[in-house]
């Protein structure tokens, strides 16, 4: 679309306000005003339509000018979500444009795109999942500059638009994230030419080459190779081609797709004129342009790789909204955000990003109070979740409405996220209360009055994902329904458990917001639910059915096991871990609590064993098998190298980052916004050193520690060593120092150093 305009007098300031149905790329006299892509961001467009504001003063000249806009399908009409269905929001693309010219003489002029003209261009198709096809022979020359002859172009059609509330975009746009050169080009065993980025990313490949016209270059994107080392794209469901096609023109040319992005590390190249070389390619990740805040490193390269994997999974899943994965779904699964939010907020400045997503969540909350499993709640998901699961929501997943704002409050000390979501949180809990009170399992009528009364506090009906993706149920199970089995087996107990959690967390939020009555009411409700849970599910011997590690972890973490039975439950949890060869067997909702529960129950030794475990399932198994991001399933690549159709870029299990920073590095906020934090590093975890830092609202907080000397028998069982611990406390903050052999002390801002003796763990 071309929108010519005249600046009749000298211009003091010029701004363009732009949004679209679909996604757009804007140029002013042939120049892009910034490097953002995929605008407008993904929101429930029927309710919220974000517009972007560009200062185009420097690009406008006196006299004739032209705006150029390329429109593509994006989330509006594209084939998106797990099912790959098209037209989630509408069937026709559209542009809304408002330009304001403020002249030096104090007068003002505005115009829209009504007098614009449109034409087909070199982008032949563009879909966020399927990919982009670009025919350079069809480039239109200086079409987005003044003086271009657009007589053959068609006038634009004015259509009545009913956009959602127009809101100026108030969070970081999607931009290229540190483009880099690929690692290598390989010839696969089957003869394919495959580009290896060296890193799993969400983004695109930029190409540059000199060529004759008419070569059709195809780039297919995949996240892993198969067991033989060949290109592999096993993404489930339709329209997941992740394939870009570029048709050359004559001469030197550069091209970067702007209307799609892929989850990939490997790219199968075909149709390249001659031999492709590394300098022909650049890997361009896309991500919301947040600031980096947190850092973590240790003496163990495997842990450092894990940290890098967590960070890259976050980067790849913060394209416009928090997504589950860039390849299969690009969907705002609420459960993934719920478990990962603390790590996300530590690593990068996710404040505005998550607040915006939470605004979408509020817009999508159902009138019943149910929080959808996915935000934005695409039409395709509504239909297929209703058909397959009979539900819009799930315990744990809907809790993102509370857990994400709490993570924002704790990390950045800003109460607004709690305040603005408080009504939505209350509605979510009211929904759960109502379901628990009115829905009962079969046989309810025949129960004793006590059991019936108790059942009013148990959310033991409806569909839930439960402790989703328990490894022992999923790994090696050829049954296509294996994933759902984890839900089926655990939802009956996880639903009631998370009801207690929701009530307790809402009570906590009410307390922070100074709503004492609510705080008391929700705390009392949580108590009732906990009691009902204990009486219904926790045996006199501390056993909880079904006996999975994650069920014990959840019950212990959420305080659902009566105190006298805690030791037995902990012992049983450790027994299950031992029986599993000191390997975890936990799913989505228990992984975030697993290592903390063990540490809090005095079994730090077991937590370390799980952390440093390298047999599947474990974090380091993935690292040892070449992962550069977190996998959706621990065994996505099997021991024999077989690749499966899981996603290789899922941040959910990266939630362990939060534990690593707090417990291994030893840097943990006590007060929201880091005014007070605790320094308690894991000097006995077996590492030689670790360092962790965070750009807090007060400035940089950091802990670094190193084992500097050993005394006595330094065998694995005994002896003692010396550790040198350094702490940086930013201005106006305080740190509570907890180090072995020293009384606890509080230190003020500045640099502090400590030398302490570390007893070896027996």
- 445 among known catalytic residues: no
Of the candidates 333, 381, 412, 608, which one interacts with ligand BGC according to CB under 6 A? 333
State the nearest-atom distance from the C-beta of 658 to ligand BGC, in Å.
Answer: 18
CA-wise closest residue to 266 among 208, 194, 326: 194
Point out the catalytic residue in the list 41, 223, 632, 680.
Answer: 632
| Sign of the dihedral defined by the CA atoms of residues 661, 356, 670, 528, in that order | negative
Is residue 468 within the footprint of ligand BGC (CB under 6 A)?
yes
Which residues 340-399 are close enough to bind ligand BGC by CB under 6 A? none
Whose tokens are 């990266």? That residue is: 654
CB–CB of 364/376 below 8 Å? Answer: yes
Residue 444 three-state SS: helix
State the nearest-atom distance from the C-beta of 334 to ligand BGC, in Å.
Answer: 8
State the nearest-atom distance from the C-beta of 397 to ligand BGC, in Å.
Answer: 7
Measured in whole angstroms, the distance separating CA 116 from the mean position of its chain's CA atoms is: 38
Point out the catalytic residue in the list 329, 364, 508, 694.
Answer: 329
Which residues 47-66 are close enough to bind ligand BGC by CB under 6 A? none
- Contact code string over 396-415 relative to ligand BGC, x by CB under 6 A: --------------------
Is residue 332 within the footprint of ligand BGC (CB under 6 A)?
no
Residues in the chain: 762
Two structure tokens written together for 161: 């638009």
- Contact code string over 634-673 relative to ligand BGC, x by CB under 6 A: ----------------x-x---------------------
Measured in whole angstroms, the distance separating CA 529 from the mean position of its chain's CA atoms is: 31
| Minimum CB distance to ligand BGC smaller for 343 or for 693 | 343
Pairwise CA distance, residues 570 & 561, whole Å: 10
State the nearest-atom distance from the C-beta of 317 to ligand BGC, in Å.
Answer: 10
| Minimum CB distance to ligand BGC smaller for 326 or for 666 | 326
Torsion, CA 477, CA 481, CA 486, CA 490, rounded to 10: -140
Of the candidates 465, 522, 548, 661, which one interacts with ligand BGC according to CB under 6 A? 465
Pairwise CA distance, residues 495 & 461, whole Å: 8
CB–CB of 454/538 below 8 Å? Answer: no
Is residue 129 within the footprint of ligand BGC (CB under 6 A)?
no
- 109 among known catalytic residues: no
Beta strands in 136-188, from DSSP E residues, in sequence order = 154-155, 165-168, 174-176, 184-187
State the nearest-atom distance from the C-beta of 261 to ligand BGC, in Å.
Answer: 17
State the nearest-atom distance from the C-beta of 443 to ligand BGC, in Å.
Answer: 28
State the nearest-atom distance from the C-beta of 52 to ligand BGC, in Å.
Answer: 29
Segment interacting with ligand BGC (CB under 6 A) among 1-9, 331-339, 428-436, 705-713: 331-339
Of the candidates 172, 220, 336, 728, which one interacts with ligand BGC according to CB under 6 A? 336
| Minimum CB distance to ligand BGC smaller for 333 or for 631 | 333
| Sign of the dihedral defined by the CA atoms of residues 196, 199, 204, 206, in that order | negative
Which residues 310-329 are close enough to bind ligand BGC by CB under 6 A? 324-325, 329
Of the candidates 68, 294, 335, 466, which one interacts with ligand BGC according to CB under 6 A? 335
Pairwise CA distance, residues 128 & 29, whole Å: 27
Pairwise CA distance, residues 762 & 424, whole Å: 49
Number of helical H runs and strand E runs in the chain = 17, 33
For residue 526, give Cα distances in angstroms to 506, 522, 562. Answer: 9, 6, 14
Which residues are catalytically annotated? 329, 632
Q: Give the footprint of ligand BGC on this chain (CB under 6 A).
A: 324-325, 329, 333, 335-336, 465, 468, 650, 652
């Amino acid at each position: 679309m071309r929108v010519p305009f005249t600046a009749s007098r000298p211009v003091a300031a010029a701004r363009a306000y732009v949004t679209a149905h679909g996604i757009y790329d804007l140029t002013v006299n042939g120049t892009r005003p910034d490097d953002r892509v995929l605008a407008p961001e993904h929101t429930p467009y029927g309710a919220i339509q974000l517009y972007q504001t560009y200062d185009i003063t420097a690009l406008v000249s006196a006299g004739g000018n032209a705006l150029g806009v390329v429109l593509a399908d994006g989330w509006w009409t594209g084939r998106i979500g797990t099912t790959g269905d098209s037209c989630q929001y509408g069937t026709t693309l559209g542009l809304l444009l408002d330009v304001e010219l403020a002249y030096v003489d104090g007068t003002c002029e505005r115009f829209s795109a009504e007098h614009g003209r449109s034409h087909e261009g070199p982008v032949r198709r563009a879909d966020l999942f399927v990919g982009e096809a670009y025919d350079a022979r069809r480039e239109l020359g200086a079409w987005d500059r003044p003086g271009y002859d657009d007589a053959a172009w068609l006038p634009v059609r004015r259509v009545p638009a009913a956009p959602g509330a127009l809101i100026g975009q108030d969070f970081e746009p999607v931009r290229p994230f540190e483009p880099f050169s690929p690692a290598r080009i390989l010839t696969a065993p089957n003869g394919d030419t495959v580009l290896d980025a060296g890193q799993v990313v969400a983004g695109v490949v930029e190409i540059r080459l000199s060529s004759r016209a008419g070569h059709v270059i195809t780039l297919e994107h995949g996240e892993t190779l198969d067991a033989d080392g060949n290109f592999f794209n096993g993404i489930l469901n339709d329209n997941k081609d992740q394939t870009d096609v570029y048709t050359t023109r004559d001469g030197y040319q550069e091209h970067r797709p702007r209307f799609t992005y892929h989850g990939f590390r490997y790219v199968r190249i075909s149709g390249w004129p001659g031999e492709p070389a590394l300098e022909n390619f650049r890997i361009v990740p896309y991500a919301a342009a947040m600031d980096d805040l947190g850092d973590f490193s240790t003496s163990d390269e495997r842990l450092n790789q894990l940290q890098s994997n967590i960070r890259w999974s976050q980067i790849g899943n913060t394209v416009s909204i928090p997504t589950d994965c860039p390849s299969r779904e690009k969907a705002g699964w609420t459960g993934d955000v719920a478990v990962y939010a603390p790590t996300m907020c530590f690593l990068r400045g996710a404040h505005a990003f998550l607040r915006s997503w939470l605004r979408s969540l509020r817009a999508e909350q159902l009138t019943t109070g149910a929080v959808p499993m996915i935000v934005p709640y695409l039409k395709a998901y509504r239909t297929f979740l209703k058909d397959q699961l009979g539900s819009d929501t799930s315990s744990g997943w809907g809790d993102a409405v509370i857990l994400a704002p709490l993570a924002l409050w704790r990390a950045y000390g800003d109460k607004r996220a709690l305040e603005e979501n408080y009504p939505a949180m209350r509605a979510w809990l009211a929904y759960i209360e109502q379901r628990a009170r009115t829905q009962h399992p079969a046989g309810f009528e025949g129960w004793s009055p006590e059991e019936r009364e108790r059942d009013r506090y148990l959310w033991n009906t409806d569909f839930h994902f439960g402790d989703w993706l328990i490894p022992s149920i999923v790994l090696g199970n050829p049954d296509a329904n294996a994933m759902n089995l984890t839900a089926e087996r655990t939802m009956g107990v996880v639903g009631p458990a998370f009801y207690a959690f929701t009530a307790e967390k809402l009570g906590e939020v009410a307390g922070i917001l100074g709503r004492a009555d609510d705080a008391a009411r929700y705390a009392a409700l949580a108590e009732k639910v906990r009691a009902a849970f204990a009486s219904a599910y926790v045996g006199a011997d501390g056993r909880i059915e079904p006996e999975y590690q994650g069920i014990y972890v959840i019950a212990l973490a959420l305080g659902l096991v009566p105190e006298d039975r805690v030791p037995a439950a902990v012992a049983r949890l450790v027994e299950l871990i031992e029986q599993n060869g000191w390997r975890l067997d936990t799913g989505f909702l228990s992984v975030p609590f697993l290592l903390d529960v063990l540490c809090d129950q005095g079994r730090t030794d077991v937590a370390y064993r799980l952390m440093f475990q390298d047999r599947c399932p474990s974090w380091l198994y993935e690292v040892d098998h070449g992962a550069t991001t977190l996998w959706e399933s621990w065994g996505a690549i099997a021991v024999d190298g077989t690749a499966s159709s899981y996603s290789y870029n899922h941040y959910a299990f990266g939630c362990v980052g939060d534990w690593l920073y707090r417990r291994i590095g030893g840097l943990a906020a006590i007060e929201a916004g880091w005014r007070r934090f605790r320094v308690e590093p894991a000097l006995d975890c077996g590492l030689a050193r670790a360092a962790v830092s965070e750009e807090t609202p007060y400035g940089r907080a950091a802990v670094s520690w190193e084992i500097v000397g050993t005394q006595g028998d330094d065998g694995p069982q005994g002896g003692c060593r010396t550790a040198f611990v350094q702490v940086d406390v930013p201005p106006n903050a305080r740190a509570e120092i907890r180090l072995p052999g020293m009384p606890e002390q509080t230190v003020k801002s500045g640099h502090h150093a400590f030398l302490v003796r570390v007893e070896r763990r027996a």
